[in-house]
Amino acid sequence: MSRSSAKPLSLPRLFSTLALLFACWFDPGTDAMADSASYQNTLKSTAWVITSNAENETSTGSGVLVDAEKKLLLTNAHVVGESRKAVVFFPVKSDGKLAVRRKHYLANILKLGIQGNVVAIDRKRDLALIELPRIPVDVQAIEMADESTAPGGKVALVGNPGDSEILWVYTSGTVRSVYQKKFKSTHGEHDFMALETQSPIKPGDSGGPIVDDDGKLVGLAQSFSPQSPLVSFCVDITEIRQMLKSPWKSAPLATKVLLDEAEIKYTKHSSGHYQIDRSVGSQTQSVFVAKDTEYHGRADVRRIWSTVQTTDQSPSETLLMRLMRQNTATKIGAWAVEKTSDGYVVFYVAKLDATASDETFESTIDYVARLAAAMEKDLTPKPDQKSAEATLAAWLAE
């Protein structure tokens, strides 16, 4: 058996060779340059989004430009809430450097702020589209991936965490899994293809772009796991593409905004719902409009109701049968009985498409008021002749 003629490497040559191999396997300088280039590219499409609700409470989040021609910015539905207006900021430079402090943008809101309209909502996917009147010249629509990314892949997020005074924050991570996820959050019920990552997402990052190694959009930051702050959930690119291709559903107005625009007088009830008093004949009937919009899938519903009776006695079988018969004759809504801590409540409730016109909304309020007033009058106990005679006899005997 012949021996190899190769000579063993000297110690200096061995170290030199290992260093060369290590540099080929992993070059931190190259990776850092790639990360920086990806960040700069994603930054051109990323926005800071500010909205306010009917109570003038301000909230902030992130967004990403997905269509330059149509001027459409994508964000989460829970970022815009019931607001139909949004103020959008894109990153700018100050003294040659990226301006990262919030106060710089707020102090220059007239120059840098762009007022957009929320034109579409998909609560199931937790997605929303904001239409902008203009786009700054140095802003570009992000390039979107054709399909979902795979577990183990590297991803990055550019967002605006609410616990920091700094905007345009870069966060890197890896993909844990891509799967269909159905869950409830503080923002509602969701059902979408989820991109789960090993990277922190903080409040304010919601709506921020999740990009792959090529800088393409593969998801939208949505929430983080309550069990582990390092596990985050994002809306997968397949859901984003499906929403953009499908007919958009108009975003319903907040109840207070709708009442104000329809010039309907109301008061705020202690429950938080809105009370409208309507005159029906000689009586006044109170009608309530729910403060929040209910939804199922893509159906947005506004609840309108009026109470006709509250009693500590359970409704009789006769009354229940009567209400059931009347339900078949009513045009919209239905009679209902609800047990509460104070007893039983009989009320009429209508559920209206939350995107219906002002005229339809007001007509429904009138309809509920008239129907409830008629039933309330009918349910008012009639004087019992025998009881009246017994009372008179008792008084005379005293």
pLDDT tens profile 139-195: 999 999 999 999 999 999 999 998 889 999 999 999 999 999 998 877 778 899 999
Check whether residue 98 and residue 207 sit in a common domain. Answer: yes
- Tens-digit pLDDT profile for residues 247-262: 876 778 888 888 988 8
Of 162, 191, 178, 166, residue with least CA distance to 51: 162
Check whether residue 262 and residue 340 sit in a common domain. Answer: yes
Check whether residue 314 and residue 180 sit in a common domain. Answer: no
3-state DSSP call for residue 373?
A: helix
Check whether residue 164 and residue 270 sit in a common domain. Answer: no
Is there a domain that residue 337 lies in?
yes
Check whether residue 187 and residue 90 sit in a common domain. Answer: yes
Check whether residue 227 and residue 358 sit in a common domain. Answer: no
Is there a domain that residue 223 lies in?
yes
Is there a domain that residue 30 lies in?
no
Q: Which residues of 157-195 are buried (b: 16+ CB within 10 A; e: fewer)?
A: bbbbbeeeeebbbebebebbebeebeeeeebeebebbbb
| Residue 379: pLDDT over 90 | no
Is there a domain that residue 318 lies in?
yes
Burial class, 289, CB count within 10 angstroms (exposed 0-12 / middle 13-18 / buried 19+): buried
Boundary of a domain, candidates 245, 278, 299: 245
Check whether residue 328 and residue 186 sit in a common domain. Answer: no
Boundary of a domain, candidates 217, 245, 273: 245
Region class of 240: left (phi > 0), else alpha (psi between -120 and 50), else beta: alpha
Check whether residue 180 and residue 230 sit in a common domain. Answer: yes
- Tens-digit pLDDT profile for residues 213-247: 999 999 999 998 888 878 999 999 999 999 999 88
Check whether residue 199 and residue 267 sit in a common domain. Answer: no
Q: What is the CATH number of the domain that holds 158?
A: 2.40.10.120
Check whether residue 215 and residue 260 sit in a common domain. Answer: no
Is there a domain that residue 109 lies in?
yes
pLDDT band of residue 383 (cuts 50, 70, 90) is: low
Is there a domain that residue 214 lies in?
yes
Domain count, the chain: 2
Check whether residue 130 and residue 157 sit in a common domain. Answer: yes
Q: What is the CATH number of the domain that holds 280?
A: 3.30.1460.10
Domain that residue 292 falls in: 255-379
| Residue 391: pLDDT over 90 | no
Is there a domain that residue 4 lies in?
no
Check whether residue 316 and residue 365 sit in a common domain. Answer: yes
